[in-house]
Structure 1
């Protein structure tokens, strides 16, 4: 795949992922009572609703900024972990709301591996 197609794939998947994360962050703050009830239904403590919403913002910045490799990797790992927990919680109670976490996980995975491929291409082009 050429670099242009890789970049389009990367930015599209990262945009889809980011839009879902930002929407959920806003929902956590605006509809706190509803989200707390959903967290209880999923088997999680409501004490994590606000910290989870807050930490998503710097996580998205780290994923988009990509200058500090360690922050980038940790942000991706954190998002992946949260998405897997959300997906498994929704499927375990069969509430039918698992597709959003699945789509978000797929978008994050595509963005992550596409970025890895782009970074390798950029490094090889610099070496030449």
Structure 2
């Protein structure tokens, strides 16, 4: 059973990290397009580059086990980022809330299975 929990953890974490890396890539390569989206959502455009860099650093933190506390902070930061993205898209009704909802579900599953594998390894 422990093997399946570890596999589920890596599957959900990898899918979530792919979404975050893809979004960071778009932020870094298509600045003008993203700037238009940010302005439509009511966010300042100076957040685009720092947010892209923080997403990349967060993905690195989730994939590499540097420190459990740091990983908890990364999960927390991603939770707030995805929830805020969901509500921003929902409020202006542009259809982007679906991707944010998928990301939120993947994040929750990733966290749940990471905690399960973390708890199991501490018991043994």
**Number of the residue aligned with 2:61:** 62
State which structure, 1 or 2, has the greater radius of gyration over its C-alpha atoms: 1
Structure 1 consecutive aligned stretches of length 4 or more whose deviation exceeds 2 Å: none
**Number of the residue aligned with 1:113:** 112
CA displacement at 1:113 relative to structure 2:
1.2
**Number of the residue aligned with 2:90:** 91
**Number of the residue aligned with 1:38:** 37
Tell me, in whole angstroms, the C-alpha distance in 1 between the residues paired with 2:97 and 2:65. 29
Q: TM-score, normalised by structure 1?
A: 0.93
Q: How does 1:13-52 map to 2 (within 5 A)?
A: 13-52=12-51
Where structure 2 has 5 or more consecutive residues not aligned to the other structure, the ranges are: none
Tell me, in whole angstroms, the C-alpha distance in 1 between the residues paired with 2:103 and 2:65. 19
CA displacement at 1:57 relative to structure 2:
1.2
Work out the number of aligned pairs and report it: 124
Where structure 1 has 5 or more consecutive residues not aligned to the other structure, the ranges are: none
Tell me, in whole angstroms, the C-alpha distance in 2 between the residues paired with 1:123 and 1:29. 39
Tell me, in whole angstroms, the C-alpha distance in 2 between the residues paired with 1:44 and 1:109. 25
